[in-house]
Amino acid sequence: MDARVSVALQMIENRCAREALRVEDLANAVRLSTSRFRYLFKHEIGLSPPACLTTLRMRRAKDLIESTFLGIKEVRDLVGLADASDFSRRYKSSFGITPMQARRSKENHP
Protein backbone atom coordinates (compact mmCIF):
# COMPACT_ATOMS: atom_id res chain seq x y z
CA MET A 1 0.00 0.00 0.00
CA ASP A 2 1.20 3.50 -0.78
CA ALA A 3 2.71 4.98 2.39
CA ARG A 4 0.74 8.22 1.97
CA VAL A 5 -2.54 6.32 1.86
CA SER A 6 -1.46 4.32 4.89
CA VAL A 7 -0.78 7.54 6.82
CA ALA A 8 -4.15 9.01 5.79
CA LEU A 9 -5.96 5.80 6.72
CA GLN A 10 -4.32 5.86 10.14
CA MET A 11 -5.43 9.47 10.58
CA ILE A 12 -8.99 8.49 9.68
CA GLU A 13 -8.97 5.55 12.08
CA ASN A 14 -7.52 7.61 14.93
CA ARG A 15 -9.93 10.51 14.59
CA CYS A 16 -13.06 8.98 13.05
CA ALA A 17 -15.24 9.50 16.11
CA ARG A 18 -13.78 12.66 17.52
CA GLU A 19 -13.92 15.15 14.70
CA ALA A 20 -14.84 15.73 11.12
CA LEU A 21 -12.06 15.17 8.65
CA ARG A 22 -11.94 17.01 5.39
CA VAL A 23 -10.43 15.34 2.34
CA GLU A 24 -8.44 18.51 1.71
CA ASP A 25 -6.84 18.27 5.16
CA LEU A 26 -5.90 14.64 4.63
CA ALA A 27 -4.44 15.46 1.22
CA ASN A 28 -2.41 18.32 2.68
CA ALA A 29 -1.15 16.10 5.50
CA VAL A 30 0.34 13.65 3.00
CA ARG A 31 1.47 16.39 0.60
CA LEU A 32 -0.78 15.53 -2.34
CA SER A 33 -3.27 17.57 -4.30
CA THR A 34 -6.85 16.82 -3.32
CA SER A 35 -7.66 15.23 -6.67
CA ARG A 36 -4.54 13.03 -6.66
CA PHE A 37 -5.21 12.01 -3.07
CA ARG A 38 -8.82 11.05 -3.85
CA TYR A 39 -7.68 8.96 -6.82
CA LEU A 40 -4.84 7.25 -4.95
CA PHE A 41 -6.94 6.54 -1.86
CA LYS A 42 -9.78 5.00 -3.86
CA HIS A 43 -7.31 3.01 -5.96
CA GLU A 44 -5.59 1.59 -2.86
CA ILE A 45 -8.56 1.15 -0.48
CA GLY A 46 -11.45 0.68 -2.88
CA LEU A 47 -13.51 3.39 -1.17
CA SER A 48 -13.49 7.16 -1.23
CA PRO A 49 -12.17 8.80 1.96
CA PRO A 50 -15.70 9.80 3.12
CA ALA A 51 -17.04 6.29 2.42
CA CYS A 52 -14.12 4.79 4.36
CA LEU A 53 -14.84 7.08 7.30
CA THR A 54 -18.53 6.10 7.26
CA THR A 55 -17.63 2.40 7.10
CA LEU A 56 -15.31 2.72 10.10
CA ARG A 57 -17.92 4.66 12.06
CA MET A 58 -20.61 2.09 11.34
CA ARG A 59 -18.36 -0.82 12.32
CA ARG A 60 -17.57 0.94 15.58
CA ALA A 61 -21.28 1.62 16.19
CA LYS A 62 -22.12 -2.04 15.55
CA ASP A 63 -19.42 -3.15 17.98
CA LEU A 64 -20.71 -0.75 20.65
CA ILE A 65 -24.34 -1.79 20.19
CA GLU A 66 -23.45 -5.47 20.34
CA SER A 67 -20.93 -5.35 23.18
CA THR A 68 -22.13 -2.60 25.54
CA PHE A 69 -25.28 -1.38 27.22
CA LEU A 70 -24.81 2.18 25.96
CA GLY A 71 -27.91 3.88 24.64
CA ILE A 72 -28.25 4.45 20.92
CA LYS A 73 -27.78 8.21 21.44
CA GLU A 74 -24.54 7.57 23.31
CA VAL A 75 -23.32 5.26 20.54
CA ARG A 76 -24.25 7.88 17.96
CA ASP A 77 -22.27 10.51 19.83
CA LEU A 78 -19.26 8.22 20.27
CA VAL A 79 -19.01 7.54 16.54
CA GLY A 80 -19.41 11.19 15.66
CA LEU A 81 -22.87 11.25 14.08
CA ALA A 82 -25.18 13.62 15.92
CA ASP A 83 -28.22 13.40 13.63
CA ALA A 84 -30.46 10.49 14.69
CA SER A 85 -32.10 9.89 11.31
CA ASP A 86 -28.78 10.07 9.46
CA PHE A 87 -27.23 7.59 11.87
CA SER A 88 -30.16 5.19 11.60
CA ARG A 89 -30.19 5.41 7.79
CA ARG A 90 -26.44 4.80 7.52
CA TYR A 91 -26.58 1.92 10.00
CA LYS A 92 -29.44 0.25 8.14
CA SER A 93 -27.65 0.74 4.83
CA SER A 94 -24.55 -0.91 6.28
CA PHE A 95 -26.13 -3.83 8.16
CA GLY A 96 -29.69 -4.24 6.88
CA ILE A 97 -31.31 -3.43 10.24
CA THR A 98 -31.73 -0.28 12.30
CA PRO A 99 -29.68 0.34 15.44
CA MET A 100 -32.79 -0.28 17.56
CA GLN A 101 -33.41 -3.62 15.83
CA ALA A 102 -29.78 -4.56 16.48
CA ARG A 103 -30.14 -3.62 20.13
CA ARG A 104 -33.37 -5.63 20.49
CA SER A 105 -31.72 -8.60 18.81
CA LYS A 106 -28.82 -8.36 21.29
CA GLU A 107 -31.26 -8.23 24.21
CA ASN A 108 -33.14 -11.28 22.93
CA HIS A 109 -29.98 -13.31 22.26
CA PRO A 110 -27.45 -12.52 25.00
60 & 103 share domain: yes
Task: Considering only residues 54 and 92, tell me which one the structure prediction assigns the higher pLDDT.
Answer: 92
What CATH number corresponds to the domain at position 57?
1.10.10.60
pLDDT in tens, 51-71: 998 898 899 999 999 999 899
96 & 62 share domain: yes
Question: What is residue 47's DSSP assignment?
Answer: S
The residue segments making up the domain with residue 73 are 53-108
For the beta carbon of residue 49, count every other beta carbon within 10 angstroms.
Answer: 23
Task: Considering only residues 92 and 17, tell me which one the structure prediction assigns the higher pLDDT.
Answer: 92
Answer whether 0.75 is exceeded by the pTM: yes
Q: Which of 16, 32, 48 is the last residue of a domain?
A: 48
Cβ neighbours for 105, distance < 8 A, ≥ 6 positions apart: 97
pLDDT in tens, 11-62: 888 876 566 778 999 999 999 999 999 999 999 999 999 899 889 889 999 9
Count how many domains the chain has. Answer: 2
Q: Where are the alpha helices (DSSP H) in the chain?
A: 3-15, 23-29, 34-45, 49-67, 72-78, 84-95, 99-108
| Contact of 54 with 80, CB cutoff 8 Å | no
62 & 34 share domain: no
